[in-house]
Amino acid sequence: MAKRARAVRWGVPVAAVAVVAAAVGTGPVIAAVRSEPSLPDRTAEQLLADVARTWQTGRMPQMSGTIVETASLGLPSLPGLSGSSGGPGPSGGASMASLLSGSHQLKIWYAGEDRFRLMLPGEMSETDVVANGGTVWLWDSAANTATRLTVPAGSAGGHGGHDAPFPMRSGAASPFATPDQAARQALEAAGTDTAISVGDDVTVAGRAAYQIVLTPKSADSLIRDVRVALDGEKLIPLRVQVYTKGAAEPAFEVGFESLSFTAPAAENFSFTPPAGAKVEEGTATPPADHRPEAVAEAHDRGRVVGSGWDSVLVTSLPDAPAQKPDAPAQKPDAPAEKQDGKERGGLDVAALLDGLKGAATPVSGEWGSGRLLSTKVVSILITDDGRLLAGAVTPEALYRAAGVKG
């Protein structure tokens, strides 16, 4: 066979690879081509006002969709996400800590504040939160356990905390939030220290969306900006992206991958514990969550220095081995949030942690000495006198905070 004919033949698989690559890339490409959806111009102020109005009425449209969360390396906390996490979409339960790394999927069916279902698919397993009226079921297929959580009167859709209908933990332990929650938190955190602008319109999950860009004014912040995509029509948040300084890809992203504003099927909200399943009662914590009180304790002992984007969590180190008898491999100097993440998050997070520990460098200065973990989105300082400082700020800001109390 002639050489040329042979070369042509080998062009076919190359073309096949190109076709596949094109097909995989089609989504983003189409989105890019359509990236200027024609939405009426609005200033940031108008947009925020409209959003505030929409949220005050508290009526989220009925919808069902798939939310994808992507977190890059070592993101234990998003500033402003800690504390209250109100809104109808709770953080959905036991395996949430596994969301600290990689990309994860969450499906949502939403028919109203007290009628919704969240599904976290796993490999041959599933975690579900099904709310219907006053009853909330937490279903963990791997443990074959259904937990009935009764909603205390008046707190449905209220603010999170330990009395919330769902086992919501504060920021560090629940990095995952619905776009609604995340956007609300980001906007609430915005104050005098944030520049708010309207970015280019984008297409998210096939819908034209406004984009609000929140840029921290502080030079100490590791966050470059936070971009909130708001549906052009319904004004609900479709996506939240956190960009760090000097990174092209978002360090954290949560947004709808697919979304439809149709009423979800009623079957989604009717949960009956299957025969043979363990049924538990109460406002209990999820079964797989062994020691939530340890986290709560760590947070109770902590205090926040600074404000807004520069917030630094200062806490004394927990006595890890004593608090975690079920995690013998735990090193006593590990950060509190991360211990929790490791315990509940399984191997992925553990491996991640080991990597981070390896990256810890001894540092010292006027404030004292200790070890510093620095990731692109968070800095963690463990001082030799047993304090832990963490924040989405530069190490220098941590040193300053460490020097304040001495």
Partner 1 sequence: MSMGENGTAVSEARPLAREEAPVREERRPARPAPGPVRHLTRLLASEIGLTFRRPRNLAMLGVLAVVPVVVGIAVRVASDGDAGGSIIGQIAGNGLMLTFAAFVVMMPIVLPLTVSVVAGDAIAGEAAQGTLRYLLVAPAGRTRLLLVKYANVVVFCLAACALVAVSALVTGLVLFPVGPVTLLSGTTIPAAGALLRVGVVVLYAAAGMAALGAVALAVSTLTEAPIGAVATSVVLVVVSQVLSAIPQVAAVRPVLLTSWWGAFDGALRAPVAFDEMGRGLFAFAAYVLVFGSLAWSRFTSKDITA
Please identify, using beta-carbon distances, which residue of 105 and 197 lies nearer to partner 1.
105
Separation of alpha carbons 392 and 236, rounded Å: 26
Q: In this complex, which beta carbon is closest to partner 1, that of residue 110 or of residue 210?
A: 110
For partner 1, the binding residue among 39, 68, 277, 359 (CB under 8 A) is 277
Cα(first)–Cα(last) distance of the chain, in Å?
81
CB closer to partner 1, 31 vs 288? 288
Query: How big is the chain by its Cα radius of gyration, in Å?
Result: 23
Applying CB under 8 A, what is the total number of residues that bind partner 1?
51
139 counts as binding partner 1 under rule CB under 8 A: yes
- Say whether residue 26 binds partner 1 (CB under 8 A): no
Residue 352 sits in the site that holds partner 1 (CB under 8 A)? yes
Distance of closest approach, residue 326 Cβ to partner 1, in angstroms: 19
Of 31, 39, 48, 143, which lies in the binding site for partner 1, with binding defined by CB under 8 A?
A: 143
Of 46 and 270, CB closest to partner 1 = 270
Q: Give yes or no for residue 260 binding partner 1 (CB under 8 A).
A: no
Would you state the structure tokens that stand for residue 151, as one six-digit string?
A: 């909603």
Rule CB under 8 A: is residue 254 a binding residue for partner 1?
A: no
Under rule CB under 8 A, residue 242 binds partner 1: no
Whether 87 contacts 181, CB under 8 Å: yes
Name which of 132, 51, 118, 55 is nearest 90 in CA terms. Answer: 118
Contact residues for 282 (Cβ-Cβ < 8 A; gap 6+)? 147, 148, 149, 150
CB of 88 to partner 1, least distance (A): 20
Smallest distance, partner 1 to C-beta of residue 328, A = 21
CB hemisphere CA count around 29 (13 angstroms)? 6
Regarding 359 and contact with partner 1 (CB under 8 A), the answer is no
Choice from 267, 322, 362, 406 touching partner 1 (CB under 8 A): 267
Check binding of 62 to partner 1 (CB under 8 A): no
CA angle 68/112/267 to nearest 5° reads 80
Q: Does 275 bind partner 1 (CB under 8 A)?
A: yes
- Write the DSSP assignment of 67-119 as a string of letters: EEEEE-S-----TTTSS---SS-----GGGGGGGSEEEEEEEEEEETTEEEEE
Q: Is residue 201 a contact partner of residue 211, using CB atoms and an 8 Å limit?
A: yes
Q: With CB under 8 A as the contact rule, which of the stretches 102-110, 173-181, 207-215, 397-405 interacts with partner 1? A: 102-110
Question: Which of 43, 258, 364, 369: binder of partner 1 (CB under 8 A)?
Answer: 258
Does 247 interact with partner 1 (rule: CB under 8 A)? no
Joined together, the tokens standing for residue 237 give 């948040």
Q: How many CB atoms lie within 10 A of CB 144?
A: 14
For partner 1, the closer CB: 73 or 294: 73
Window 309 to 348, contacts with partner 1 (CB under 8 A): 347-348
Comparison of 292 and 346: residue with beta carbon closer to partner 1: 346
Tokens 């069902």, located at residue? 64
Beta strand ranges found along 205-295 (DSSP E)? 207-216, 223-231, 237-244, 252-260, 278-281
Q: What are phi and psi of 300, to 5 degrees?
A: -65, -35
* Residue 266 found at the interface with partner 1 (CB under 8 A): no
Q: How far is the CB of 402 from partner 1 (least distance, A)?
A: 31
- Of 177-196, binders to partner 1 (CB under 8 A) are none
Going edge to edge, which strands form the sheet with 115-122?
Answer: 194-204, 207-216, 223-231, 237-244, 252-260, 63-71, 102-112, 115-122, 125-132, 135-140, 145-150, 278-281
Residues in contact with partner 1, shown as a per-residue x/- string from 106 to 125 under the rule CB under 8 A: -------------x-x-xxx
Q: Does residue 280 belong to the site contacting partner 1 (CB under 8 A)?
A: no
Q: Which is nearer to partner 1, 125 or 197 (CB)?
A: 125
276 near partner 1 (CB under 8 A): yes
Asked whether position 248 contacts partner 1 by CB under 8 A, the answer is no
* Cβ partners under 8 Å of residue 111, min gap 6: 62, 263, 264, 268, 269
Provide the binding-site residues for partner 1, judged by CB under 8 A. 1, 5-6, 9-10, 12-13, 15-17, 19-20, 23-24, 66, 101-103, 105, 119, 121, 123-126, 128, 137, 139-146, 258, 265, 267-268, 271-277, 347-348, 351-352, 355
